[in-house]
Amino acid sequence: MTTTKQVDKATPESDLKYFVLDTNVLLHNPVSLYMFKEHEVIIPFAVLEELDKFKKQSDDVGRNAREVIRQLDTLRSKGHLAEGVTWNEAGGKIRVEFATDDRPKWLKEDLPDNRIISVAWALHEQGVRSILITKDINVRLKADALGITTQDFEAQKVDIDHLYAGYATLAVPGELIDTLYEEKQLELAELAEHLMDEGPDGQRREIELHANQYVQLRNALDESHTGLARRLADTDHLIPIHGPRKPVSGIMARNVQQTMALDLLLDDEIKLVTLLGTAGTGKTLLAIAAGMAKTFTEERYDKLLVARPIMPMGRDIGYLPGTKDEKLEAWMQPIFDNLTYLLSTRGAAFPGAAQHADSKSAEQRIQQLIASGQLVLEPLTYIRGRSIPHQFIIIDEAQNLTPHEVKTIVSRVGEGTKIILTGDVAQIDNPYLDSSSNGLSFMVERLKGAALVGHVTLAKSERSELASLVVEKL
């Protein structure tokens, strides 16, 4: 159960709010039941009926539905849900409510959404401070048209306009850049007077450098004189970053953000890396290239595990014809494309590749790696409930995961494992997520500054000249 801030006495009646929760909020995060502190949470009876339908599914939605049902059953043992069960010392209460038959004609049609809205409407008509919480935009529109206060579930949203980018650019005297490379480090105290920026309100504010954050240093008098550094974990100094001196699985960084990304990906002390970027910025390719180098060449990890959420047009993997491997191939095709590119056009991407470059195709090498168990490609469905030690894990398209799902996945990481989350928060297929509420954005913002975590937002498309043009213009 999620802990919340508790107070010594119950909320005065004048300050009490009634939060009506839609089904999608509970499926998005099962512990949302307990996120309204001292107020009263109303669960429409129609929500219970919808949870009953979802509970049989084997995916995350089904698991979340079952978790909510278990939580409600636990509350039922403490009192009558129809009357409301107090669950904390602050007076927070959870109650099941039926839809009223005396409702506007626009809600007469017997639909789950209408019955949920009618519960909020009845509370609104009673003059109490009721708020309908739903992630369904259409439900919010319908409720708003009836004068009902409605909101999205905001508890796990981040400010996407100010999302942590993982790096900062500073104008400094050239002597500081020289000191960085001559002494192989630079004390943060020497940068103190230069850590200032102008905010949107025109006010000067101090820039906070987090653990593992990069700093692009530019000579204030000579733009060609630059340096790149990273704050080493949670120490008080910066270290110079040069980037790999030789290709990583055959590829080299093409811009400064890619240099930062490879630095994080190849650092064994950093256990979690998040990479954001639009199409063509190289986030997935860089992650796979680093994983291949670390697993197949250096043998630092036992396996390279690549997984993606199954989220195309709302269809599950079971609707595809063929065996599990044939179904999986369709969903994992973007990963196969990257692997094929690395293995077909680059030399010695893994031990023995050079000797067999002419005798085996890229597809055959991929199958060889899969057969040996060094490369594992799986849908995320198969990762839940496991403990995964000594592996290099890549979770692609992580922007389609909820914060609760991301937390569940990362908590599977065992000893000696490194996990990479990649995604584009501008391309989300989950109908109940957006750029502010998805699990990847949430993870980036919540874990910034942790010594084991690093993040970079890749800004420049390097896929092709055409891809760059489309990203820029469209």
In this structure, is residue 426 part of a structural domain? Answer: yes
Q: Is the pLDDT of residue 112 over 90?
A: yes
Tell me, yes or no, whether 274 and 312 share the same domain.
yes
Selection from 272, 286, 277, 188 nearest residue 447 by Cα: 272
Residue 358 or residue 14, greater confidence: 14
Q: What letters, b where the CB count within 10 A reaches 16 and e where it falls short, cover 334-355? A: ebbebbbbbbeebeebbeebee
pLDDT at 8: 38
In this structure, is residue 406 part of a structural domain? Answer: yes
Question: Residue 213 sits in a domain of what CATH number?
Answer: 2.30.130
Residues contacting residue 180 through CB under 8 Å, at least 6 positions apart? 186, 217, 227, 229, 238, 240
Q: Is the pLDDT of residue 20 over 80?
A: yes
In this structure, is residue 266 part of a structural domain? Answer: yes
Tell me, yes or no, whether 370 and 425 share the same domain.
yes
Q: Is the pLDDT of residue 315 over 50?
A: no
pLDDT at 205: 77
Asked if residue 428 lies in contact with residue 400, where contact means CB atoms within 8 angstroms, the answer is: yes
Tell me, yes or no, whether 380 and 432 share the same domain.
yes
Asked if residue 188 lies in contact with residue 468, where contact means CB atoms within 8 angstroms, the answer is: no
In this structure, is residue 5 part of a structural domain? Answer: no
Asked if residue 274 lies in contact with residue 421, where contact means CB atoms within 8 angstroms, the answer is: yes
The DSSP call for residue 43 is E
In this structure, is residue 8 part of a structural domain? Answer: no
Average pLDDT over residues 274-295: 95
Q: What letters, b where the CB count within 10 A reaches 16 and e where it falls short, cover 42-54? A: bbbebbeebbeeb
Q: In which domain, by residue range, is 395 found?
A: 246-473
In this structure, is residue 3 part of a structural domain? Answer: no
pLDDT in tens, 437-464: 999 999 999 999 999 999 999 988 877 7
pLDDT at 70: 96
Query: Mean pLDDT for the chain?
Result: 87
Selection from 410, 425, 438 nearest residue 153 by Cα: 438
pLDDT at 14: 60
**Residue 60 identity (one-letter amino acid):** D
Q: What percent of the chain has pLDDT over 70?
A: 87
Q: What percent of the chain has pLDDT over 90?
A: 60
Task: State which of 120, 151, 182 marks the end of a domain.
Answer: 151
Tell me how many domains the chain contains.
Answer: 3
Tell me, yes or no, whether 221 and 265 share the same domain.
no
pLDDT at 348: 45
Q: Which two tokens stand for residue 421?
A: 């989350």
Q: Is the pLDDT of residue 278 over 80?
A: yes
What confidence tier does 154 reach under pLDDT thresholds 50, 70, 90?
confident
Task: State which of 213, 242, 271 marks the end of a domain.
Answer: 242
Tell me, yes or no, whether 142 and 165 share the same domain.
no
Cα 215 to chain centroid, rounded: 24
DSSP assignment string, 128-174: --EEEE-S-HHHHHHHHHTT--EE---TT---GGG---SEEEEEE-H
Tell me, yes or no, whether 83 and 21 share the same domain.
yes
pLDDT at 12: 57
Weakest-pLDDT range from 245-254, 324-333, 379-388: 324-333
Average pLDDT over residues 73-98: 93
Average pLDDT over residues 180-187: 95
pLDDT at 215: 96
Quick one: CA dihedral 355, 359, 361, 363, positive or negative?
Answer: negative
Average pLDDT over residues 301-330: 67
pLDDT at 446: 94
pLDDT at 9: 42
pLDDT in tens, 195-245: 877 666 666 778 899 999 999 999 989 989 999 999 999 899 999 999 888
Cα 311 to chain centroid, rounded: 14
Weakest-pLDDT range from 28-32, 184-188, 329-333, 352-356: 352-356
Q: Which two tokens stand for residue 205?
A: 């504010």
Largest CA distance in the chain: 79
pLDDT at 156: 80
pLDDT at 184: 95
Task: State which of 208, 242, 276 marks the end of a domain.
Answer: 242
Tell me, yes or no, whether 372 and 270 share the same domain.
yes
Weakest-pLDDT range from 109-118, 215-224, 309-318, 325-334: 309-318
Average pLDDT over residues 369-394: 86
The span from the CA of 19 to the CA of 41, in Å, is 5
pLDDT at 453: 97
Q: Is the pLDDT of residue 103 over 90?
A: no
pLDDT at 363: 86
